[in-house]
Amino acid sequence: MKLEGASVLVTGGASGLGEATVRRLHARGARVVIVDRDVKKGEEVARSLGERASFVAADVTSAGDVEAAIARAGETAPLRVAVSCAGVGWAARTINKEGAAHDLELFKTVIGINLIGTFNVARLAAAAMAKAEPLDDGERGVIVNTASIAAFDGQIGQAAYAASKAGVVGMTLPVARDLAAVGVRVMTIAPGTMDTPMLAMLPEPARAALAAGIPFPRRLGQADEYARLVEHIVDNRYLNGETIRLDGALRMPPK
């Protein structure tokens, strides 16, 4: 897909995987809308890119917020790409060592942001893309979601997180089939242990231990490696309805 002159929307675009994606697709000539709850960081990223970049503060679980962000994206060019990187992680056992049950509201919150928020973005982006003029092969747009290898290898304490990401994987094919009629492709990336701002807060011995468990290359994944995969998905029109693991052959142990 030709990104020059197209609009791209990236949730969670103020940092980590989302920011790397914003920068890579912007470099390809796209008009990028950065969607995030962190106003300060979001505005900083937009300013650093200058022309063809803007920031919209939004909660991905809010229909109104996402509709406003998509409307912003469509102001100057058709929305062709939507990438969902917004998400949260939380560790809690189903029953903790004291015998107390997992907090139900916490479970709902993780599902709400990671799964429902991702679907909210996908459904509204697809509705906007369906109105655009078709490109080569009748393609109108591409939606890229973010899961995690926890969807397949959930560890102890990851019931909420793994369930939310497994939901993203599970909806990839049916949503792709739903949107085939309007020429919108849907793909999901399941990253492994990536060197994001969250992991940057860990002490170096802990980071080294995580890297040592990865078969090859024996290091943490880089945000730009995620962004490059997004770029390839956008360019490769035959990729549709699938989840790609990006993990250096890592299979997570129970803990």
Annotated catalytic residues are: 161
- Cα distances (Å, whole numbers) of residue 56 to 45, 60, 164: 12, 11, 25
Looking up tokens 């397949």, which residue turns up? 152
Cα distance between residue 185 and residue 214, in whole Å? 31
Q: Is 153 helix (H, G, I), strand (E, B) or coil?
A: helix
Name the residue among 176, 193, 196 with its Cα closest to residue 185: 176
Looking up tokens 């089939």, which residue turns up? 177
Torsion of CA 55, 199, 89, 119, to 10 degrees: 40
At 224, which amino acid appears? D
At 17, which amino acid appears? L
Q: Is 10 helix (H, G, I), strand (E, B) or coil?
A: strand
Cα distance between residue 219 and residue 140, in whole Å? 37
Q: Helix/strand/coil (H, E, C) string of 167-179?
A: HHHHHHHHHHHHH
At 35, which amino acid appears? V
DSSP class of residue 221? B
- Cα distances (Å, whole numbers) of residue 113 to 27, 60, 118, 123, 239: 29, 7, 7, 15, 26
